[in-house]
Amino acid sequence: MSQASLPRVMVGSMRLGAWGKDLDTQSLEYFIDGALDMGFDHFDHADIYGGHTTEGAFGEVIRRRPELKKKLQLHTKCGIIYPSDQRPEYPHKSYDSSSEHIRWSVENSLKELGVDSLASLLIHRPDHLMESKAVASLVDELKSEGKIQRFGVSNFNTSQVAHLSNHSEVDIHQFECSIIEHSALEDGRLLQCMDLDIQAYAWSPLAGGAQFSTDSKMSASLRTFLYELAKDMGIPLDTLWYAWLFKHPSRLGIVTGTTDLSRLENARMAMDIELDASTWYDIHQRATGKKLP
């Protein structure tokens, strides 16, 4: 399946709930409507977000506004066994990519979100005990039942993606990537996504707000340089960070982590900015601290 129809910007939900802003139903509804007004209709979830509460909170908006079911494209992840007040039966954190658990997770996410189909289902973390053929068979069943449209992974390495791709079509791969977390440029993950027509998405594309925090691992000199560069270009800082990612020929997308609609607008703005190669490499060399050979 071609990934051209997938968006460059996916709205992340992790900080919308109890693990972040903890928006009430009315505030969450306002945020969703604002995102839709900007043309952002793909939202990224995971069953564990908010200690297994964020999908349900999001679903409350959909139950209140059922017309949103036709407007929203919802993606979610599963496979992490995460103890919480909502899952007291989980004794400790582990992974479970068994067919039984994945099917239960899909059914539960559909119920919590209040929808009939997921735009995609991702395995959240690599599971050393995963039986890829069984997963592939279940994915085929879920697609034929109309419960998921696409399948993908998150945080896998290249060999894990290659192995799974022998049994099932992998449509999406999410992993951390930003100006200062750029290992995906070196370890082959982005090249693999290009080769296999997998849509890559960078989570934490702003490195957890490193540009705006003096406590981050980002150097003061790089922070100052990017600030001055964005100022000279007449664009917001986060727009520059996003534009740097969008430059990569893999058609790399982003999963935003904001609860601020103005920052979603900054992401939208970045799609219209084309950095030249000289600027891109200037940023990259300053971020890595290494000159080009």
**Interval 41-93: pLDDT, tens:** 999 999 999 999 999 999 999 999 999 999 999 999 999 999 999 999 999 99
List residues bridging with 121 in a β-sheet. Answer: 76, 151
User: At 111, is the pLDDT very low, low, confident or very high (cuts 50, 70, 90)?
Assistant: very high
Q: What pTM was computed for the model?
A: 0.96
Structural domains present in the chain: 9-220+249-257 (3.20.20.100)
Phi and psi at 117, nearest 5°, equal -150, 145
Q: Summarize the confidence of residues 150-173 as an average pLDDT.
A: 98
Residue 105: pLDDT band with limits 50, 70, 90? very high
Residue 82 catalytic?
Answer: no
Give pLDDT tens digits for 211-230: 777 777 788 999 999 999 99
Residue 1 has pLDDT above 80, yes or no: no
Percentage of residues in the chain having pLDDT higher than 90? 94
Q: Is the pLDDT of residue 2 over 70?
A: no
Rg (CA), the chain: 19
**Closest C-alpha among 5, 46, 4, 26 to residue 255:** 46
User: What is the DSSP code string of 138-181?
Assistant: HHHHHHHTTSBS-EEEES--HHHHHHHHTTS---EEEEE--SS-
Choose the catalytic residue: 30, 49, 201, 281.
49
Q: What is the pLDDT of residue 87?
A: 95
Q: How far is C-alpha 265 from the chain's CA centre?
A: 17
Mean per-residue pLDDT, 186-196: 97
Residue 210 has pLDDT above 90, yes or no: no
Here the tokens at position 284 are: 């990259």
The residues, ordered by sequence, that sit 6+ positions from 71 with a Cβ below 8 Å of its Cβ are 36, 41
pLDDT more than 70, % of the chain: 99
Question: 14 and 22 in contact (C-beta within 8 Å)?
Answer: no
Beta strands, E only, the chain: 9-12, 42-44, 73-78, 80-81, 94-95, 120-123, 151-154, 172-176, 199-203, 253-255
Q: What is the DSSP letter of 6?
A: S
pLDDT of residue 245: 98
